[in-house]
Structure 1
Amino acid sequence: MKATYLLVAFLALASFASAYDPSPLQDFCVALPDGSIKDAVFVNGKFCKDPKLVVAEDFFKHVDPGNVVNKLGSKVTPVTVNELAGLNTLGISLARIDFGSKGLNPPHTHPRGTEVLIVIEGTLLVGFVTSNQNNTNRLFTKVLNKGDVFVFPFGLIHFQFNIGYGNALAIAALSSQNPGVITIANAVFGSTPPISPEILAKAFQVDNKVINYLQKQFWYDNN
């Protein structure tokens, strides 16, 4: 019986550990491009480049300002393991977020990471919403100015809105090499194939015509 309990405890710990980025067991593991190994399979992370072939450029990336002339007035430029191979197994990534006047990074969530945001230029209204607790989703908001830092807890829905008079710039650091992003409106109303309007109408407690209208919109992806 004791052996059974130990096995269950071990499996539980293994399941918990596998939910997060693995800790590196070497100095670095520069990722090989997807498809560079024929018929290769991986579960969490990417295959490593031969350390003898690694060069400084594997740890470098230049990030240009994003084009904010779009429906949201913002552009997120991610720097994850998919853009910077040297991030593989390091458990971190970042993103540059450019905002035009009244630009919005709409409500979204990162399913695999906590986000820390620092404002480089401008003034942002930021916020996040807690999970369902006692039938309440509590909203936390804060106005941030140049040099201010704010954290968005793991997996919670959050947003940033430029309330200043000019453009704004922020840098986000994330606790995963590939944190992912789910933009709420895009996922709910712009999925492929679409979610049944009957389901959404009942969920949002509105008429089917409202849902049909929303599903016909072009949901811009600023990532």
Structure 2
Amino acid sequence: MESQIIAFCLLAMACTLAMAFEPSPLQDFCVADYTSSARVNGLPCLDSKLAQAEHFTYSGLHLAGNTSNPLGFSVTPVTVAQLPGLNTLGIALVRFDYAPWGIAPLHVHPRATEIITVLEGSIQVGFVTSNPDNKLLSKVLQKGDVFIFPMGLVHFQRNVGNGNAVSISALSSQNPGIVIVASSVFGSVPGIDDDVLTKAFQVDKSTIDNLKARF
């Protein structure tokens, strides 16, 4: 009986882990049908007889993004929203462009692990482990270097050179999502109560109001 209970627990754990990630496709492909009103976890499938090569093709990652913003940073995503053939396949790509000293601010991908490759320049990357350690793991990457941001952990990228920098990332979800820490905390709609934020950050209300005004 004890061995049966252990086997059951292991099976339950395996099922839980399997459900934590996007399901494996049950057909060769499932081109996203943007026009369908069907409610599913993802996007419904276009009739496979209507599939074209264009559904699996994206052009534009060779083009530099516009970094003329306060962060000096630009994102060119290739998720299921841009490439319908990605639907159900559990992958996505992103091109990042950085002006000199531009930064991708602290953020989280709630549904994906990310692997970043530097194509040009020198980029500092880092992520913070979960409680209770909250350890920062950070490194300056050069052209051709690769780094991994585990799923759900706060991370950042920063160009530490005087020239432009470029990186490309692969993510383990067709729709990885992004939660920018500062925007989420100080720019939510409706806003989080000042009392909550002052206690959480151990600062006075004027500091919180100043931060909220920026977002």
TM-score by length of 1: 0.88
Deviations 1:168-200 (A, max 9, x none): 000010011111110000100011111011100
5 Å-filtered alignment, 1:122-201, equals: 122-133=121-132, 136-201=133-198
Deviations 1:38-65 (A, max 9, x none): 4x211x2211111111000001111232
Deviations 1:99-133 (A, max 9, x none): 01110000101001100000000000110000003
2:21 & 2:148 partners in 1: Cα distance?
A: 18
Q: What amino acid does structure 2 have at the position aligned with 1:26?
A: Q
Q: What amino acid does structure 1 have at the position aligned with 2:194?
A: P
Q: Which residue of 2 aligns with 1:111?
A: 110
Q: What amino acid does structure 2 have at the position aligned with 1:55?
A: Q
SS at match of 1:45: coil
2:201 & 2:19 partners in 1: Cα distance?
A: 34
1:93 & 1:132 partners in 2: Cα distance?
A: 28
Q: Which residue of 2 aligns with 1:221?
A: none
Q: What amino acid does structure 2 have at the position aligned with 1:142?
A: K
Deviation at 1:27, TM superposition (A): 1.1
Give unmatched runs, 5+ long, in structure 2.
none
TM-score by length of 2: 0.92
Q: What amino acid does structure 1 have at the position aligned with 2:82?
A: E
Give unmatched runs, 5+ long, in structure 1.
219-223
5 Å-filtered alignment, 1:65-84, equals: 65-84=64-83
Q: What amino acid does structure 2 have at the position aligned with 1:175?
A: S
SS at match of 1:77: strand
Q: What amino acid does structure 1 have at the position aligned with 2:20?
A: A
1:160 & 1:151 partners in 2: Cα distance?
A: 12
SS at match of 2:55: helix
SS at match of 1:216: helix
Number of corresponding residues: 211
Deviation at 1:18, TM superposition (A): 2.9
Deviation at 1:76, TM superposition (A): 1.2
2:12 & 2:123 partners in 1: Cα distance?
A: 44
2:169 & 2:124 partners in 1: Cα distance?
A: 15
Q: Which residue of 1 aligns with 2:207?
A: 210
Report whether the alignment pairs 1:29 with 2:30: yes
1:74 & 1:37 partners in 2: Cα distance?
A: 34
Q: Which residue of 1 aligns with 2:47?
A: 50
- Runs (4+) of structure 1 exceeding 2 A deviation are 5-19
2:74 & 2:115 partners in 1: Cα distance?
A: 17
Percent identical residues? 53
2:12 & 2:141 partners in 1: Cα distance?
A: 43
Deviation at 1:37, TM superposition (A): 2.4
1:164 & 1:140 partners in 2: Cα distance?
A: 20
SS at match of 1:68: coil
